[in-house]
Each structure stands twice: as C-alpha cells, then as structure tokens.
Chains A and B, each alone.
Chain A
Amino acid sequence: MNLRLRKNANRLMLTLTGVCTLAVLIPLFLVLYYVVRQGAAGLNWALFTRLPVPPGESGGGMANAIVGTLELLAMAIVLGVPLGLSIGVYTAELGNGRGLDKLAGAVRFSADVLTGIPTIVTGLFVYALVVVPMHRFSGIAGGIALALVMLPVMLRASEEVLRMVPQSYREAAMALGATRWRVLRDIVLRAAKPGLISAALLGVARVAGETAPLLLTALNSSQWTLRPDQPMASLTVGIFNYALAPYDDWHRQAAAAALTLIAMIILLSLVARAWGRIGEVR
C-alpha cells in the first residue's frame, strides 16, 4: 500500500471515530430536547400540588406521585445504604481473601450477579417475598425492591472508595495503639466520608428512575399515601401509565413529570460528582 492511501485511510478512520461519538451524543440531545420542550409546556403548579383526576377529565396533577417517589427513595436509602456500606466495609477491609474471609470473593461475585439481574425479575422476587404474604401491593414492598437494586451498586462503590484510603493512615493509627474497630470508625470511615456520600447519592440516582420493579410491588395510587403498607404512587409508574393512556392532557403531564424526574437525577449525579471530588482532594 502506498503512503498516500495509508494516510487517507488514517484520516478517514479517525474522522469516523469522531462521527461515532457524535452519533452517540445526538440521541441524548434529542431526548433532552424533547423532554425539556414538551415538559416545560406541561409544567404548572397543579402538577406539584394537585392529585390526579379521573381518566378523561383534564387538569389535576401528580403531587402524590412526587411525594410517593420521595417516600420510596427514603425507604430504599434507609434499607440499602447502611447494608451496602457495611458489606462494602467487609469486602474492602477484611476481604483480602485469607482464611475465613475467602468468603469476601463470593460476596463480591454475588454482588456482580445481583447487578446484572433485570430489575423486573427483582420485582418478581419481592412480589413473592412481600406482596403475597401481605396480601396487597405496598410502598414498603417498593422500597425493598429499590433497596435490592441499590444494594450491589452501593456495595461496590463504597468498597472502591474505602480502598482509596491510604494504607499508611491505618498503620499510623494502629501504631498509636488504636484497636482495629477504632481505626475503622475514626480513621478509615472518616477519611472516606465524602466519597461514601457520593456513592450513596449515585445509588439513589440509579434507582430514582426505576419503573419495572415498582410495577410489581408498589403498583400505583391516585391518593396521597403516607402509609407504607398501602399501594404507593411514583413518578416513574405515573409517567408509564400516562404515556400509554389515550389522553393528550396525560401525555403533557407525563412529559412534565419526566422533566422533573430527569432534573432530579441530573442534580443528584452532579452533587455526587462534587462530593466525590472533595473526597479526592483530601
């Protein structure tokens, strides 16, 4: 092959990788543009303050779904974050694979398996585990399902953060006579705190957009639901139902809810990145 041909091939293929990158980003812009344009048109106070109205009537809002999403996320945080963090401490601090703690390898592996399980299947599991014995769909079942989705994410993220705490910190504290528990509580966890907060926020952002497991657990509701043993509305299930219904007003509300949801998630992920950066500086 002569040099000019090779140089042209070089230029062509390098340009193509740039074209690929553009092709990857264009759908993102199209989706964001659609959601912002349609969503902004549907945004109004009623969306955040009013309950849904019966099918076919226009007006009403999704206030109960917004509150429901916050309740579900709160339950998922309470269940998923401490558990994920504790097990992350286990795999990071004790999981060097000696003796009994060879178990840590199995824990890590299971967490990877759990990450790969479709969330609709997680929903089936929680349905059998919680909804069937309770004889009804409930917010707490939804919270448990979201916590299960969050658990492996939180676990692997906190493990990574803990591994970034320099070994010398631990050694210095031990040299001063601190017990292993004190080292963990007062040195390692404290040093890792910003990173751990970032990990938790990323976990929340990850499950905030989940719909599939909620369809089989929290279901939906057209009322305010503050009781966790009752079916609970959520933004995602609301968007799903409204989008598939044949009413223009509901489509508008679905787009506005989608805009609210995306804004929430992007905000969470930006705050998480900021916290993560604080963690790196220290």
Chain B
Amino acid sequence: MDRFYPWILRALGLIVPGLVIALGWQLYQGSAASRHAFGWGFVVGSSWDPVFNHFGALPFIFGTLVTTAVAIVLAAPLGIGAAIFLAELAPNWLRGPVGYLVELLAAVPSVVYGLWGLFALVPWMRTILEPWLIAHSDNLALFRGAPYGLGFLAAGLVLAIMVIPFVVGLAREAIASVPRVHREAAYALGATKWEAIWQVVLPGARSGIAGGVMLGIGRALGETIAVTMLIGNTPTVSASLLAPGYTLASVIANEFTEATTAIYTSALVEIGLVLFAITLVVNLIARLMVARFAGAGAAA
C-alpha cells in the first residue's frame, strides 16, 4: 500500500482537470450543429424562433450582462461597506454573529430567493417601487415603460442579495490582512479612522476586494433559478430595466427539456458554451486578482 497509494491518488487527481476538459469538449461537440448553421451570427443574432429553427443568443447575452451589472452595482458598494464595518469597526461580540448571518445569505437556496422574489418582492416593486421610479426619474430611459414587476430590475435586485456574501467574504479577508502598522502609521500622521481606512487600508486591500467583486460577477452570470423565476422570460433587448427579459442560464433551464428538434437542443447547448466561456474568463480574472493579493500579503 505504501508504494501504491501515491499513484492511486495521482490517478484520482487527474479526474478533476479531466472533468473540466470533458465538460468544455462536450459543450463544443454538442453545439456543433448550431455552430455550423449560424456561425458567429449566433452571438449577435437577436431572433429566437424555435418554430422556424432560427436561433440567435443576443437577447440572452444582453439579459445576463444587464442583470449582472445591476447586481454588482448594488452589491459592490454595500458589500465593501459591510466588510469595512465587520473588519474595522464591529466590536468582537457583534463580529461573529453578523459574520454568520452574512454567510447565511449564501446558504439560502436560489429557489427560495426566487419564491420570495415572486410573492413578496415583485408585488412590492409593481405597486410601489416601479411607479415611483417612473414618476421620479424624469423620463430616464432606464426606468421607462409599464411597471410589470418581473424584469431585469427584479432579477438584478435578488442577484445582488445573492452575491453580496461573496463580496463581503473576500473583501473582509483582504482588509483584515492589511498590516496593523500601516494603520498606526496613518494615525500617527494625524489621520482620522476613516482617512486611515480610505487612504491606507483600502488601497492595500485593493486586489483582494477586486477579486471578491469579480467572484461575485462570476456568480451572478451563472445564477439560474432565482433569475428564471423573476426576469419574465421574454427575449428582449431593451434600455429599460423595468422590461421583462431573459438570460443565458434561464433559457437553458426553461427550454432544454422541451426542445423538440436537434438544432434547437444544439442551440441551447451553444448557449451553455457561451455561458461557460464567459464565466470561465471572469473566474480566471478573479483568481488572478486574489492570488496577487495573497502574494502581496505574504510579501508585506
């Protein structure tokens, strides 16, 4: 056993890169029919018509990017603010429980966020938030149209809640890893607590915080169920956040098991390929940023 077990472990270890390669390969192979039929036009085509077998992914790419943007615009500042509070200000007795509650946000299943969104958030948005936005936004293109409730804004809001724990987690670690002496040096120069945080701590934690935000973006791009329940599932490209839309992940969830023709299935697999490629790039950037911050922390 002593001689064999390293080889067994190495062989098992190979499974992991093998899985990633097999997954990418499977998506590539499975989408062959669609790639040949539509070429690059698939990515920029905006009609999605199963009846005439014409498929373009643009509305879904658009929906994924817009909901992710809404989510991160809300989650990044709130998450970083909460991370500062937890790492720098919260007294010890508060730090543990609040930290646990933030982690709990990540433990709530996607489908439960969807349920809450559908029956609590959306009615509130339809009757209160969206009419208010329409009335007070001075006819801004972002908030034009009828208050449906379901749409980019509802999906983005719930996504924001879902990715916040990822932002807080990494940002908090990055802030805590900034050496104490840096803060003390700032205080010695007469800085207030906030000035020390803003001018010394945050720049020192920058790449870790950015990594956390990127990781949140990666999560938001691939999140499926809650978005599927809240976005309205209509393939549209619209400047208004109040309009219903569709995302890459949710079109797979909704239509894959009902796809009737081979080309339809293949087009949905290509949607999966596009989603895989986007999240892969975003996650790689996130890892690089986190690795840089870990490296910088070790050097300091």
A interface with B by C-beta (< 8 Å): 6-7, 9-10, 13-14, 16-21, 23-25, 27-28, 30-32, 34-35, 38, 83, 86-87, 89-91, 93-94, 100-101, 103-104, 106-107, 109-125, 127-129, 137, 148, 151-152, 155, 179-182, 184, 205, 208-212, 215-216, 219, 236, 239-240, 243-244, 251, 254-255, 258, 261-262, 265-266, 269
Residues B192 and A7 in contact, CB atoms below 8 Å apart? yes
Q: Give the shortest distance, in Å, between B152 (CB) and chain A (any CB).
A: 18
With A118-B221, A258-B112, A266-B104 known to touch, is A16 a contact of B81 (CB < 8 Å)?
Answer: yes
CA distance A259 to B256 in the complex (A): 29
* Shortest Cβ distance from B120 into A: residue: A34
- Which residues does chain B contribute within 8 Å of A122, judged by CB atoms? 23
Using A28-B161, A240-B114 as known contacts, list a sample of 9 further A-B pairs with CB atoms less than 8 Å apart, ordered by residue number in A: A13-B198, A23-B82, A118-B223, A118-B276, A120-B224, A179-B2, A209-B110, A212-B253, A251-B119
With A9-B194, A236-B109, A269-B107 known to touch, is A120 a contact of B249 (CB < 8 Å)?
Answer: yes
CA distance A112 to B17 in the complex (A): 10
24 A-B pairs, CB-CB below 8 angstroms?
A: A6-B192, A7-B192, A9-B194, A10-B195, A17-B85, A24-B105, A28-B161, A30-B116, A34-B119, A103-B10, A110-B16, A114-B16, A115-B283, A116-B222, A116-B280, A116-B286, A117-B279, A120-B275, A121-B276, A180-B5, A211-B224, A212-B224, A243-B111, A243-B115
With A110-B19, A208-B109 known to touch, is A243 a contact of B229 (CB < 8 Å)?
Answer: yes
B60, CB-defined interface residue at 8 Å: no
CA distance A40 to B127 in the complex (A): 26
Chain B 75-104 interface residues, beta-carbon cutoff 8 Å to A: 77-82, 84-86, 88-90, 98, 101-102, 104
Q: Give the shortest distance, in Å, between A69 (CB) and chain B (any CB).
A: 11
CA distance A89 to B13 in the complex (A): 10
Residues B111 and A240 in contact, CB atoms below 8 Å apart? yes
B interface with A by C-beta (< 8 Å): 1-2, 5-6, 8-10, 12-17, 19-20, 22-23, 26-27, 30, 77-82, 84-86, 88-90, 98, 101-102, 104-105, 107-116, 118-120, 161, 164, 168, 192-195, 197-198, 215, 218, 221-225, 229, 249, 252-253, 256-257, 268-269, 272, 275-276, 279-280, 282-284, 286-287
Residues A10 and B13 in contact, CB atoms below 8 Å apart? no
* Shortest Cβ distance from A265 into B: residue: B107
Residues A87 and B15 in contact, CB atoms below 8 Å apart? yes
CA distance A93 to B268 in the complex (A): 41
Residues B13 and A87 in contact, CB atoms below 8 Å apart? yes
Residues B113 and A31 in contact, CB atoms below 8 Å apart? yes
* Shortest Cβ distance from B219 into A: residue: A116
* Shortest Cβ distance from A104 into B: residue: B13
CA distance A200 to B173 in the complex (A): 23
- Which residues does chain A contribute within 8 Å of B115, judged by CB atoms? 35, 239, 243, 254-255, 258
* Shortest Cβ distance from B94 into A: residue: A21
- Which residues does chain B contribute within 8 Å of A30, judged by CB atoms? 116, 120
With A87-B13, A151-B16, A155-B16 known to touch, is A240 a contact of B229 (CB < 8 Å)?
Answer: yes
